[in-house]
């Protein structure tokens, strides 16, 4: 159980009467409810609030079922199916609107705001994650407007709630209890006030509102558009709340305040440990990947031949593809990289030979060879038609256009006319992210077009002479990742294929490539399992 789950459990135990023991000497919640009704009636009589047409009493009948009686009509109905859990003897079920008045915020206009005053208006952004953030884009109103809109001024022990957010995301209905220093705040539209008829109740209610069962009850009333979710005052008033005796409320609050700092300390420690474990796992995965690319992950087997033999097969196939017109003649300008008797590395291109020892990032086994990237692979950047051609649903004559986001956790499918798709990837092709924050990311492609932020790796051979998964490991490794960052153009934080031409590729024999990938995948799977 993590810190958040533990906190949720404590709040749930609190509203179910399981956090502290009951005291039979406590004045029952039914007496507290009578006081609340009396205070509510007084406010109605003094015309400070309107008469509640939906006021009700919830009680348990002789048959042990729960009933709700609506005072305006006398109607009685069984609500057993609506009651979420049993509560201790001496507690009562109530609807939120029967113990508090719910005040929606005032629609202040932008021209109402001034640079500074003692009267700050609280907007949605000022109440986040159950905290009051008064410095978040603060706005103020004049003393005159404050007087005119005094109904929307915060009172001590009010509970502020946010009533708008993202539909089905539950990223609102945050709550905050007003303290002594908060009395010059006014609420804007979509911020609400829960003002309890007996203010002492708010000390328990600020925690009851955060309990998971309460939130489930609240969000069943969510309305709004496809993206925006809303909670109206009338629906919030319908929410069921368990009401303990006032003395028990105080004991519950005291216990929660005792436990929450311990939970927060536990959560912090747990987060630190999780971060450490994640970092260690990442470092371990990177280390294994580096060993794989350096030829240290598996033993070399003489019977598998050498990468030099494999490289010669690649060159012969390139020559054949040029003769067939499938490959440009420029692809034949291969370099030859070898290790001299003095342990230095040399590169021979035609009749030119030079020492490239300083370029070599690490030593590789004798059966391996270093090869220039452009002797093995071409890079083809994507294309993108105008957005006016985009549609969001699959259609005959259209093809999926893949963007970097589509290889993440939140794909947003877009389709373009097949006639406009000049760059197409097949399932299993390797795609490289070319720009910005995604630079260095590597993906296995799906069938479709790919846009300008992606580049496809195209082997300069047709036979399966280099294992695709080994190539993928290469692009994930530091030999590519570090170099591509260093070589990318600063203005766009990206690269063109010319930036990759001179990269070095450590080439093992084909059979060893398969063994490397198998060993790597097993090692990573073991780490992920913990």
Strands (E), 356-509: 369-372, 377-381, 398-402, 414-417, 424-425, 430-433, 442-444, 448-450, 454-459, 504-507
Other beta carbons within 10 angstroms of residue 387's beta carbon come to: 8
Gap between the Cα atoms of 443 and 449, Å rounded: 14
Q: Cα dist. 381→292, 469, 495, 524 in Å?
A: 28, 21, 10, 31
Would 280 be classed as within a structural domain?
no
Q: CA triplet 42, 45, 50: central angle to 5 degrees? A: 100
Gap between the Cα atoms of 424 and 490, Å rounded: 28
Q: What is the CATH number of the domain that holds 9?
A: 3.90.220.20
Gap between the Cα atoms of 82 and 241, Å rounded: 12
What pLDDT does residue 133 have?
A: 94
* Residue 109 shares a structural domain with residue 249: yes
Q: Cα dist. 307→213, 300, 508 in Å?
A: 64, 11, 5
Would 157 be classed as within a structural domain?
yes
* Residue 102 shares a structural domain with residue 53: yes
- Partnered with residue 180 across adjacent β-strands are none
Gap between the Cα atoms of 369 and 290, Å rounded: 16
User: How do residues 6-59 score in pLDDT, each as one tens digit?
Assistant: 999 999 999 999 999 999 999 999 999 999 999 999 999 999 999 999 999 999
User: How do residues 451-494 score in pLDDT, each as one tens digit?
Assistant: 999 999 999 998 899 999 999 999 999 989 988 877 665 445 67
User: How do residues 388-421 score in pLDDT, each as one tens digit?
Assistant: 999 988 999 999 999 999 998 888 899 999 999 9
Gap between the Cα atoms of 307 and 336, Å rounded: 13
What pLDDT does residue 436 have?
A: 80
Would 277 be classed as within a structural domain?
no
Q: Are strands 139-141 and 119-122 parallel, antiparallel or unpaired?
A: antiparallel
Would 284 be classed as within a structural domain?
no
**Of 503, 507, 472, 476, whose CA–CA distance to 487 is shortest?**
503
Would 432 be classed as within a structural domain?
yes
Cβ atoms of 433 and 421 within 8 Å: the answer is no
Note down the domain range covering 249: 3-266
Q: Are strands 159-162 and 191-196 parallel, antiparallel or unpaired?
A: antiparallel
Structure tokens belonging to residue 467: 């294992």
pTM > 0.85? no
What pLDDT does residue 310 have?
A: 95
Gap between the Cα atoms of 425 and 450, Å rounded: 7
Length of the chain: 530
Question: Binning pLDDT at 50, 70 and 90, where does residue 513 land?
Answer: very high
Structure tokens belonging to residue 11: 């709040």
- Partnered with residue 186 across adjacent β-strands are 121, 153
455's CB contacts (< 8 A; 6+ apart) are 379, 380, 381, 382, 431, 432, 434, 497
Cβ atoms of 345 and 356 within 8 Å: the answer is yes
**Of 450, 443, 444, 433, whose CA–CA distance to 484 is shortest?**
433
Structure tokens belonging to residue 452: 């300008």
* Residue 234 shares a structural domain with residue 97: yes
What pLDDT does residue 195 have?
A: 97
Task: Print the SS3 string covering 212-271.
Answer: HHHHHHHHCCCEECCCEEECCHHHHCCCEEEECCHHHHHHHHHHHHHHHHHHHHHHHHHH
**Of 285, 299, 258, whose CA–CA distance to 522 is shortest?**
285
* Residue 308 shares a structural domain with residue 206: no
What pLDDT does residue 176 have?
A: 97
Cβ atoms of 435 and 420 within 8 Å: the answer is no
* Residue 225 shares a structural domain with residue 349: no
* Residue 238 shares a structural domain with residue 317: no
Task: Look at residue 273 and give its three-state secondary structure.
Answer: helix
Q: Is the pLDDT confidence value at 82 over 50? A: yes
For tokens 């609102």, the residue is 172
For tokens 């747990």, the residue is 270
* Residue 374 shares a structural domain with residue 485: yes
DSSP 223: E
Out of 266, 289, 313, pick the residue that ends a domain: 266
Structure tokens belonging to residue 401: 């256009």
Question: Binning pLDDT at 50, 70 and 90, where does residue 331 land?
Answer: confident
- Partnered with residue 458 across adjacent β-strands are 378
Longest CA pairwise span in the chain (Å): 105
* Residue 480 shares a structural domain with residue 343: yes
Q: Is the pLDDT confidence value at 269 over 50? A: yes
Work out the percent of the chain whose per-residue pLDDT is above 70.
Answer: 98
* Residue 212 shares a structural domain with residue 160: yes
Would 275 be classed as within a structural domain?
no
Cβ atoms of 339 and 345 within 8 Å: the answer is yes
User: Does 4 or 91 have the greater pLDDT score?
Assistant: 91
Inter-helix orientation angle 468-476/478-487, to 10° = 50
Gap between the Cα atoms of 15 and 36, Å rounded: 19
- Partnered with residue 94 across adjacent β-strands are 241
Total domain count, the chain: 2
Gap between the Cα atoms of 441 and 417, Å rounded: 27
* Residue 104 shares a structural domain with residue 227: yes
User: How do residues 228-240 score in pLDDT, each as one tens digit?
Assistant: 999 999 999 999 9
Out of 209, 242, 266, pick the residue that ends a domain: 266
* Residue 344 shares a structural domain with residue 236: no
User: How do residues 159-210 score in pLDDT, each as one tens digit?
Assistant: 999 999 999 999 999 999 999 989 899 999 999 999 999 999 999 999 999 9
Gap between the Cα atoms of 530 and 472, Å rounded: 24
Beta-carbon-side half-sphere exposure of residue 320 (alpha carbons within 13 Å):
9
Structure tokens belonging to residue 450: 């790919």
Cβ atoms of 194 and 105 within 8 Å: the answer is no
* Residue 255 shares a structural domain with residue 310: no
Would 285 be classed as within a structural domain?
no
What pLDDT does residue 483 have?
A: 85
Structure tokens belonging to residue 496: 């063109």
Would 295 be classed as within a structural domain?
no
Gap between the Cα atoms of 191 and 121, Å rounded: 10
Per the prediction, the chain carries an average pLDDT of 93
What pLDDT does residue 491 have?
A: 44
């Amino acid at each position: 159980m993590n810190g958040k789950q533990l906190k949720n459990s404590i709040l749930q135990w609190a509203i179910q009467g399981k956090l502290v023991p009951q005291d039979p000497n406590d004045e029952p919640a039914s007496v507290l409810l009578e006081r609340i009704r009396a205070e509510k009636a007084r406010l109605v009589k003094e015309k400070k609030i309107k008469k509640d047409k939906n006021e009700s009493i919830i009680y348990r009948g002789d048959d042990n079922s729960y009933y709700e009686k609506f005072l305006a009509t006398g109607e009685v109905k069984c609500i057993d199916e609506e009651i979420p859990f049993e509560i201790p003897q001496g507690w009562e079920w109530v609807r939120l609107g029967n113990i508090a008045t719910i005040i929606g915020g005032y629609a202040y206009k932008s021209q109402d705001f001034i640079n500074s005053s003692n009267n700050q208006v609280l907007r949605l952004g000022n109440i986040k994650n159950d905290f009051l953030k008064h410095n978040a884009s603060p706005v103020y109103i004049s003393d005159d407007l404050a007087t005119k809109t005094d109904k929307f001024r915060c009172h001590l022990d009010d509970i502020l709630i946010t009533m708008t957010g993202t539909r089905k995301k539950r990223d609102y209905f945050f709550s905050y209890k007003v303290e002594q220093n908060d009395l010059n705040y006014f609420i804007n539209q979509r911020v609400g006030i829960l003002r309890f008829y007996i203010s002492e109740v708010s000390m328990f209610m600020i925690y009851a509102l955060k309990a998971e069962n309460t939130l489930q009850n609240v969000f069943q009333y969510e309305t709004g558009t496809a993206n925006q979710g809303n909670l109206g005052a009338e629906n919030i008033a319908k929410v069921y709340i368990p009401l303990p005796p006032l003395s028990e409320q105080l004991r519950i609050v005291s216990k929660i305040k005792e436990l929450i700092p311990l939970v927060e300390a536990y959560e912090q420690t747990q987060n630190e440990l999780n971060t450490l474990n994640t970092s260690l796992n990442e470092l371990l995965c990177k280390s294994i990947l580096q060993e794989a690319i350096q030829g240290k992950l598996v033993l070399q087997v003489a019977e598998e031949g050498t990468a030099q033999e494999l490289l010669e097969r690649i060159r012969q196939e390139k020559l054949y593809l040029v003769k067939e017109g499938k490959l440009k003649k420029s692809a034949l300008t291969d370099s030859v990289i070898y290790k001299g008797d003095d342990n230095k590395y040399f590169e021979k291109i035609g009749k030119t030979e030079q020492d490239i020892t300083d370029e070599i990032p690490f030593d590789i086994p004798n059966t391996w060879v270093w090869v220039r990237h452009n002797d093995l692979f071409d890079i083809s950047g994507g294309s993108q038609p105008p957005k006016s051609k985009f549609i969001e649903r699959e259609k005959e004559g259209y093809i999926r256009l893949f963007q970097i986001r589509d290889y993440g956790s939140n794909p947003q499918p877009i389709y373009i006319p097949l006639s406009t798709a000049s760059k197409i990837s097949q399932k299993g092709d390797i795609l490289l992210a070319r720009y910005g924050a995604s630079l260095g990311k590597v993906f296995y492609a799906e069938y479709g077009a790919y846009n300008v932020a992606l580049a496809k790796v195209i082997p300069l051979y047709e036979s399966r002479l280099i294992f695709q998964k080994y190539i993928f490991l290469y692009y994930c490794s530091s030999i590519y990742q570090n170099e591509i960052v260093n070589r990318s153009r600063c203005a766009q934080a990206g690269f063109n294929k010319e930036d990759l031409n001179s990269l070095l590729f450590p080439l093992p024999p084909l059979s060893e490539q398969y063994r490397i990938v198998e060993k790597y995948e097993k090692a990573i799977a073991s780490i992920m399992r913990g």
